[in-house]
Chains A and B, each alone.
Chain A
Amino acid sequence: MDRGLDSDIETIRALVRRSANELIRVPGAAVPGVLAPTIFFLGLTAVFGSLTLLPGFTTDSYASFMIPVSMLQGAGFTGAAMGVNLARDIELGLFDRFLASPAPRWVLLTGLVISAAIRSIIPSTAVFVIALAVGAHFPGPLGLLIAYVCVMGTATIAACWSAIIALKFKTQSASPLMQTVMLAAVLCTTAYAPQELLTGWLATVAEYNPFTQVVDATRQGFVGGVSWDGTWPAIVVILALTALLGAFALRGMRRTAY
């Protein structure tokens, strides 16, 4: 086959363009993805805002503390939504068109993942702007850059995870599994309070949950200064989970149509 990298890249672009159709051509399609993290952000900030009064809390602005979580939550939902779309495509037989083509399977997965990463910018930016409006600190350019890297990385991980589920169950009914697991992954961290203030089981789980690294890295600029030490663990987590889950997703694709 004379397929070169050029045609692989061209194929990925075509897949990303197709996924963008949904946002561009279906009126209001982007709204739910923006609404959920926004409501959670505003709600959690209003409800748990007094936690900053606890001795040992690392910031006096709960909005600044919570915004990274909401941005990542938006990214997780976006990635999960890509998995739901994949399940729908499989249900309808649309995915067979891709599987029966000579496009390499990693190209198909990459198209999905890049779509998720790009789309995750929409909810996270929306909730970021709202956060600034209600008084969250500006994280500085570097802090913001790190936050967006983490957002897109989380969307990538979520897309891989959701693709695994979609390829395994081949039905949209499995969507709660995609979304809930991502929500849990992001929340079972230092989402609500710094590690020292967590209680019970969560104190342990958050310590070992790799997403804690991602949450903390995203949060750096919002609650203080950024540092390389606070950043690299998140990058390692993102790369490792993407590689691991991506490999499983590829395996699922090969099992569906080897």
Chain B
Amino acid sequence: MPAIEVSNLQRAFSAEVLAVAGIDLEVAEGEIYAFLGPNGAGKTTTVRMLTTLLRPTGGTARVAGFDVVDEPAAVRSAIGVALQEAALDPLMTGRELIRMQATLHGIARDEGRRRADDLLRRVGLTEAGDRRVGTYSGGMKRRLDLASSLVHEPRVLFLDEPTTGLDPVSRKSIWEEVEALNREGTTVFLTTQYLEEADQLADRVGIIAKGRIVAEDTPTALKTQVGKPRMEIVLAKGERSDCVDVLGGFGELLPPKDGKLMLEVAEGAAAIAPVVRALDEAGIVVESLDVVEPTLDDVFVDKTGQHLEGAEPGEPDTGEEAAAG
């Protein structure tokens, strides 16, 4: 049984705003699935529907084997949720918050106390546990929110943009925690605007834009879909016609860009040595040589014609900005 099973899920807020326009997806038990998309793509709306906070206007979704509309209580017992804003009551202490969450899940008092201690230790908040949440930093709040969502050992964990706005160190610590949880068997559904996050964490990535999934696969497969790694070569004395013959044997030559020769090389960086050697033997002097791996942003551009946040602006093929830089 898949942990999450979504079929043609839709949410309209009005006749014009179709925030989620019919998505299908399946997340296997034990998987980390990342929803990657820019602002307004429909990530939060999807998460809210899957966590029973928002009623779908079409389609069906089952989480942990339960239908989100017909069996919301069962879904709620099986899932942990950390929403985008990490909304925490500033007047409560971290420990109180986790214990309240335990109570909400029907966990007995002693057990709740024990789990609060464990979880605070786990996310490194033992010291701060008795301080009011109002005094926490953004990263601490995120970690507390994550800890509180784990109190009932959920089978499926939903994290809506768990690291947005965090510094690299805090981000790293959340990633490690998510990976550890996943090793312990928790299925994770997370949303993110960060390519790196999806790339690092996810077993599979769904790229969402304007309420639709435009691509979905493992990060590696997605990247190979848009193209093989390519080598960008700049020659010392401008272009020489014979280099085409030399390079042609290594892979397909793409149209040159900004005076760079573009060579598609299936084996990536491993092709550097043979290529350099061959050029050298032909007496062609190389000024620079780079292997560029496709990124999820390339996938995104390929599927939507737009860039994700944090990726370089502008269409790579027009070349204007790239030439200036």
Contacts and interface: CB of A to CB of B under 8 A. Distances in A.
Interface residues of B, number: 33
Nearest to B81: A100
B53 A96 contact: yes
Given A100-B81, A257-B54, A14 B100 contact: yes
A98 B104 contact: yes
A100 B99 CA distance: 16
B91 A26 contact: yes
B104 A102 contact: yes
Interface string A1-45: 111100100110110001001100110000000000000000000
Most buried by A among B74, B76, B132: B76
B87 A92 contact: yes
B91 A99 contact: no
A38 B52 CA distance: 44
B54 A97 contact: no
B85 interface: yes
Contacts of A97: 81, 87, 101, 104, 148
A201 interface: no
A102 B73 CA distance: 5
B136 to A, nearest CB: 15
A50 to B, nearest CB: 46
B113 to A, nearest CB: 13
Contact of B76 (A10, A26, A102): A102
B251 interface: no
A101 interface: yes
B87 A93 contact: yes
Most buried by B among A11, A93, A97: A97
Contact of B104 (A22, A94, A103): A103
B83 A102 contact: no
Interface residues of A, number: 28
Contacts of B69: 258
Interface in B99-113: 99-101, 103-109
A100 B106 contact: no
Most buried by A among B51, B87, B104: B104
Contacts of A14: 99-100, 103-104
A3 B106 contact: yes
A92 B77 contact: no
Interface string B32-70: 000000000000000000011111000000000000010
B92 interface: yes
B76 A100 contact: yes
The A interface is mostly helix, strand or loop, or mixed, namely helix
A258 B101 CA distance: 20
Nearest to A12: B103
B2 interface: no
A81 B152 CA distance: 32
B258 interface: no
Contacts of B108: 7
Nearest to A4: B106
B175 to A, nearest CB: 23
Contacts of B72: 257-258
B253 interface: no
B290 interface: no
A99 B85 CA distance: 15
Given A102-B105, A257-B53, A21 B91 contact: yes
B100 A1 contact: no
B103 A11 contact: yes
21 contacts: A1-B73, A1-B106, A2-B106, A11-B104, A14-B99, A14-B103, A25-B91, A25-B132, A92-B85, A94-B88, A96-B53, A96-B81, A96-B87, A100-B81, A102-B73, A102-B77, A102-B105, A103-B105, A257-B52, A257-B72, A258-B55
Given A11-B103, A104-B73, 20 more contacts: A1-B106, A7-B106, A7-B107, A11-B106, A14-B99, A18-B100, A21-B91, A25-B91, A93-B85, A96-B81, A97-B104, A100-B51, A100-B81, A101-B76, A101-B101, A101-B104, A101-B105, A102-B73, A103-B105, A258-B55
